[in-house]
Amino acid sequence: MNNNKKVIEVSDLTRKFGKFTAVDSISFDVKEGEIFGFLGANGAGKTTAIKMLIGLLSPTSGKATVAGYDVYNQSEQIKKSIGYMSQKFSLYEDLTIAENISFYAGIYGLTDEQINDKTDLLLKKLDLENSRNELIKSLPLGWKQKLAFSVAIIHDPSIAFLDEPTGGVDPITRRQFWNLIYEAAENKRTIFVTTHYMDEAEYCDRVSIMVDGRIEALDSPANLKSKYDSATMNDVFIQLARKNQVKE
Amino acid sequence: MRIFANFILKEIYHITRDWRSLLVLICIPVIQLFLFGYAIRTELNNAEIGIIDRSKDYITQEITNKIISSGYFELSAYIENEKQIEHLFKNGTVKEIIIFEPDFAKKLEKEGKASVMLIADASNPNIATLVTSYTSSIIRTYQLELNMKSIKANTIIIPEVKMLFNPELKSVYMFVPGLIALILMLVSALMTSIAITREKEMGSMEVLLVSPLKPQMIIIGKVVPYVVISFFNSMSVLALSILIFHIPFEGSYILFIFESLLFIITALALGILISTIAKSQLAAMMISLGGLLMPTVLLSGFIYPVENMPLVLQWLSYLIPAKWFLIILKGIMLKGLGIEHLWKETLILTGMAIFYLAVSTRKLKIRLE
């Protein structure tokens, strides 16, 4: 992490829905090649923030650039430089593994030749060569998530946004999943990942903790733990959340 | 373009994987055609009638003969006693009773008019309307004949009942255009609204929107396969109606195809509009069924004539695209009309297509931000 080039820059980014402020003037930077953990409880505003960064939602105020492009008017360029894995969706259930791969590779403009190579490579890596023509719905959830992640970065984006990628997956598969993330983070690829599993926060280079629409803490897991005098990230998180409740 | 082809391919996988639904989609129109064509018949075949002839002269005799020989009616009984009328109707023995007033022929000669009363069992209003209108048309024909005779005494006139546009009053003629409208509405609007909300419900819409695909492209990609299916359906219904039910097709096929495409576009726009409102597939289905199919069936003139409805419903029916499409289809198929007669309806339909397309793309944009 000796690289200081910033690939995501956010300052005072705010999103209101009517009178409700979902994201309240957040500011942070993400450096190239970093695994950036974006933590927070459910409803803290993580998904709203991520949607503004990937161009699904326009901000109410504030500034943000992703891969050097402005989120207000350059979302087309942003879309080409990022990969996105949503929490709700993994892959099309009624399509086969190979069809899903070639569909996603196709909509990102890869050529047939590239698609074939990528598909072979990917299936080999995930040990799914024999299931190539099986429907996604026959796969266990953990495999789907791993495949969905690999598909989300099939076009080699410089930044990958992962929204709760490991939701509902068992601990062993989560560990395997994080190995994939580490692998993907090589070659300077930036990973922006949201999660509410605090043990996963330990795997990140830096984490931000969001409480009620604001970023309450941002540092490396080790620094945070010493600052809040806690043994685990879970304790750090509980302290922050409690502090906020007391304030109210 | 390659990217778009890729998207269409995915849609085709979706549709063909679910081959049961596809089968239903393709078979339903055919089944409906046969149901409407054979089961729901509103034309007459040997309807039983009773006659009370208080005059018993040559004219009433001739009219009776004409009615019976028409093939639509069968004489069940000459009734002498009027008290029997109620009894006969209650038993369901007859569908209609014809009463000639006394001195029918004499009155006709002297006063130039004589009256005949037609009583029908209106517990089945459709049949009651049919039998009375058949009978009166036979009598009217006979009256014309009489008039001709009085001018040219020796000419023999062959009786001819002519019903314009649907000479045999075959109900299937009326049903086929309505059925085509219904099927196009069903497949285009219902299926597309469901297909689009499915992506939303599953969350895959987000992933697609984050990709370089343009939102319009996603919608068009989702819609194209259903255009093809509904077009195929309308063609198969048309072909079967011509081959099996011998429905006439007087007008231009090119105009038919053009107008069908126009209607499909309108229906698709409505489907997209629904998908922007509905949050789930189920909601999309309920809105499509309640908001589109019901009015299409009830208010378009498909089954119930719009002219007989209360004024409020008549005004409401102007808003139903299917109403105009139906007028156009009947005009093309049964009357052989060209665009010079149908331009007004076509214009209205075009206006609707543009309006709904504009509204739905607007709503779509708002939703995607």
Q: What is the pLDDT of residue B159?
A: 35
Instruction: Give the pLDDT mean for A201-207.
Output: 91
Looking up tokens 């299409």 gives B296
Tell me the CA end-to-end span of chain B in Å, nearest whole number.
25
- Report whether pLDDT(B365) > 70: no
- Flag whether residue B18 sits within 8 Å of chain A, measured between CB atoms: yes
Q: What is the dihedral of CA A85, A87, A91, A93, to 10 degrees?
A: 180
- The residues pairing with A162 across neighbouring beta strands, listed in sequence order, are A85, A193
Which of A82, A107, A114, A159 would best serve as a mutation to test chain B binding (most B beta carbons within 10 A)? A107
Q: Please report the beta strands in A98-240, taking only residues with DSSP state E, as ranges in sequence order.
A: 159-163, 190-195, 206-211, 214-219
A95/B17 touch (CB, cutoff 8 Å), yes or no: yes
Q: What is the pLDDT of residue B70?
A: 81
Tens of pLDDT, residue by residue over A64-118, are: 999 999 998 888 889 889 999 987 767 898 899 999 999 999 888 888 899 999 9
Tell me the CA end-to-end span of chain A in Å, nearest whole number.
38
- The residues pairing with A153 across neighbouring beta strands, listed in sequence order, are none
Q: What is the pLDDT of residue B150?
A: 62
Q: Contact at 8 Å (CB) between A41 and A11?
A: no
DSSP conformational letter for B16? H
A79/B2 touch (CB, cutoff 8 Å), yes or no: no
- Flag whether residue A106 sits within 8 Å of chain B, measured between CB atoms: yes
Tens of pLDDT, residue by residue over B74-126, are: 888 788 877 777 788 777 778 888 888 888 778 777 776 777 888 877 666 66
| Least Cα separation, residue B13 to chain A (angstroms) | 7
Q: What is the pLDDT of residue B157?
A: 31
- Report whether pLDDT(B314) > 70: yes
Q: How many domains does chain A have?
A: 1
**Cα Rg of chain B, angstroms:** 27
Our CA angle for B79, B84, B85, nearest 5°, is 85
Q: Which residues 198-217 of B have a C-beta within 8 angstroms of A?
A: 202-204, 206-213
Q: What is the pLDDT of residue B351?
A: 93
Q: What is the pLDDT of residue B7?
A: 86
- Report whether pLDDT(A197) > 70: yes
B81: left (phi over 0), alpha (psi -120 to 50) or beta: beta
Cα B75 to Cα B246: distance, rounded to the nearest angstrom: 30
B212/A58 touch (CB, cutoff 8 Å), yes or no: no
Cα B301 to Cα B307: distance, rounded to the nearest angstrom: 8
Q: Contact at 8 Å (CB) between A39 and A196?
A: yes
B210/A84 touch (CB, cutoff 8 Å), yes or no: yes
Q: Please report the beta strands in A89-185, taking only residues with DSSP state E, as ranges in sequence order.
A: 159-163
Which among A79, A85, A102 is the nearest to B212, CB-wise?
A: A79
Q: What is the pLDDT of residue B366?
A: 60
B208/A57 touch (CB, cutoff 8 Å), yes or no: no
Which among B6, B18, B202 is the nearest to A103, CB-wise?
A: B6
* Range name among A7-16, A162-171, A205-214 with the lowest pLDDT average: A162-171
Q: Contact at 8 Å (CB) between A218 and A206?
A: yes
Q: Contact at 8 Å (CB) between A81 and A71?
A: no
All residues of chain A having their beta carbon less than 8 Å from the beta carbon of residue B17 are 94-95, 135
Q: What is the pLDDT of residue B111?
A: 72
Cα B178 to Cα B330: distance, rounded to the nearest angstrom: 9
**Residue A139 domain flag:** yes
Joined tokens for residue B69: 């020989």
Q: Which residue has the higher pLDDT, A43 or A164?
A: A164
DSSP string computed for A216-240:
EEEE-HHHHHHHTT-SSHHHHHHHH
3-state secondary structure (DSSP) of residue A121: helix
All residues of chain B having their beta carbon less than 8 Å from the beta carbon of residue A88 are 202-203, 206
Q: Contact at 8 Å (CB) between A190 and A30?
A: yes
Crossing angle of the two packed helices B2-17 and B19-34, in degrees rounded to 10: 70
In total, chain B counts a number of residues equal to 369
B211/A76 touch (CB, cutoff 8 Å), yes or no: no
B7/A107 touch (CB, cutoff 8 Å), yes or no: yes
All residues of chain B having their beta carbon less than 8 Å from the beta carbon of residue A134 are none
All residues of chain B having their beta carbon less than 8 Å from the beta carbon of residue A160 are none
All residues of chain A having their beta carbon less than 8 Å from the beta carbon of residue B13 are 94-95, 99
User: Could you state, in order of their start, the residue ranges of all structural domains in chain B?
Assistant: 2-40+170-368, 47-151
- Helix (H), strand (E) counts: chain B: 16, 4
| Least Cα separation, residue A120 to chain B (angstroms) | 19
Crossing angle of the two packed helices B253-277 and B171-185, in degrees rounded to 10: 40
B10/A95 touch (CB, cutoff 8 Å), yes or no: yes
B204/A89 touch (CB, cutoff 8 Å), yes or no: yes
Task: Provide the percentage of residues in chain B whose pLDDT is more than 90.
Answer: 5
Q: What is the pLDDT of residue A158?
A: 92
- Flag whether residue B280 sits within 8 Å of chain A, measured between CB atoms: no
Instruction: Give the pLDDT mean for B313-336.
Output: 86
Q: What is the pLDDT of residue A247?
A: 53
- The residues pairing with A66 across neighbouring beta strands, listed in sequence order, are A8, A69
Which among B10, B206, B212 is the nearest to A86, CB-wise?
A: B206
- Flag whether residue A95 sits within 8 Å of chain B, measured between CB atoms: yes
- Flag whether residue A86 sits within 8 Å of chain B, measured between CB atoms: yes
DSSP conformational letter for B101? P
- Report whether pLDDT(A146) > 70: yes
- Helix (H), strand (E) counts: chain A: 9, 10
- Flag whether residue A107 sits within 8 Å of chain B, measured between CB atoms: yes
* Range name among B158-167, B171-180, B223-232 with the lowest pLDDT average: B158-167
Q: What is the pLDDT of residue B154?
A: 38
A109/B2 touch (CB, cutoff 8 Å), yes or no: yes
**Cα Rg of chain A, angstroms:** 18
Tens of pLDDT, residue by residue over B238-296, are: 888 888 877 888 888 899 999 999 999 899 889 988 988 888 888 888 888 888 888 88
Closest by CA to B326, choosing from B355, B254, B231, B334, is B334
* Range name among A19-23, B81-85, B302-306, B307-311 with the lowest pLDDT average: B302-306
Name the residue in chain B with its Cα closest to that of A93. Answer: B14
- Flag whether residue B40 sits within 8 Å of chain A, measured between CB atoms: no
Crossing angle of the two packed helices A97-107 and A141-152, in degrees rounded to 10: 20
Name residues whose C-beta falls within 8 Å of residue B77's C-beta, 6 or more positions apart in sequence: B50, B51, B88, B93, B94
Which among B13, B212, B369 is the nearest to A95, CB-wise?
A: B13
Instruction: Give the pLDDT mean for B5-19.
Output: 86
Cα A11 to Cα A24: distance, rounded to the nearest angstrom: 11
Cα A99 to Cα A96: distance, rounded to the nearest angstrom: 5
A86/B209 touch (CB, cutoff 8 Å), yes or no: no
- Report whether pLDDT(B23) > 90: no
Name residues whose C-beta falls within 8 Å of residue A144's C-beta, 6 or more positions apart in sequence: A90, A91, A136
Q: What is the pLDDT of residue B145?
A: 77
Cα B318 to Cα B327: distance, rounded to the nearest angstrom: 12
Q: Can you give the residue range of the structural domain that contains A153?
A: 6-247
Where does the pLDDT of residue B166 fall: very low under 50, low under 70, confident under 90, or very high at 90 and above? very low
Which among A85, A103, A109 is the nearest to B10, CB-wise?
A: A103
Instruction: Give the pLDDT mean for B20-47.
Output: 75
* Range name among B1-15, B138-152, B259-273, B339-353 with the lowest pLDDT average: B138-152
Name residues whose C-beta falls within 8 Å of residue B183's C-beta, 6 or more positions apart in sequence: B28, B29, B32, B230, B233, B234, B237
pLDDT averaged over every residue in chain B: 80
**Residue A137 domain flag:** yes
pLDDT averaged over every residue in chain A: 88
**The sheet that has A6-17: what strands, in order across it?**
A20-31, A6-17, A61-66, A69-70
Looking up tokens 């560990």 gives A175
Which among A57, A86, A99 is the nearest to B369, CB-wise?
A: A57
Q: What is the pLDDT of residue B213?
A: 84
What's CA B228's distance to the chain center, in Å?
Answer: 23
- Report whether pLDDT(B358) > 80: yes
Q: What is the pLDDT of residue B167?
A: 45
Closest by CA to B301, choosing from B309, B310, B290, is B309
- Report whether pLDDT(A1) > 50: no
Q: Contact at 8 Å (CB) between A193 and A174?
A: no
Cα B341 to Cα B9: distance, rounded to the nearest angstrom: 41
**Which CATH number covers residue A74?**
3.40.50.300
Q: What is the pLDDT of residue A97?
A: 92
At A193, the amino acid letter reads V
- Report whether pLDDT(B172) > 70: no
Q: Domain B47-151 is in which class?
A: alpha beta
Strands B116-120 and B96-100: antiparallel
Give A132's Cβ-side CA count (13 Å radius): 12
Q: What is the pLDDT of residue A61?
A: 93
All residues of chain B having their beta carbon less than 8 Å from the beta carbon of residue A17 are none
Instruction: Give the pLDDT mean for A138-167.
Output: 89
Q: What is the pLDDT of residue B124?
A: 64
Joined tokens for residue B165: 């546009």
Instruction: Give the pLDDT mean for A205-215.
Output: 91
All residues of chain B having their beta carbon less than 8 Å from the beta carbon of residue A95 are 10, 13-14, 17
- Report whether pLDDT(B160) > 70: no
3-state secondary structure (DSSP) of residue A36: strand
B204/A92 touch (CB, cutoff 8 Å), yes or no: yes
Q: Establish, for the pair of chains A and B, how many residue pairs have beta carbons separated by less than 8 Å.
A: 67
Q: Contact at 8 Å (CB) between B298 and B222?
A: no
Q: What is the pLDDT of residue B158?
A: 34
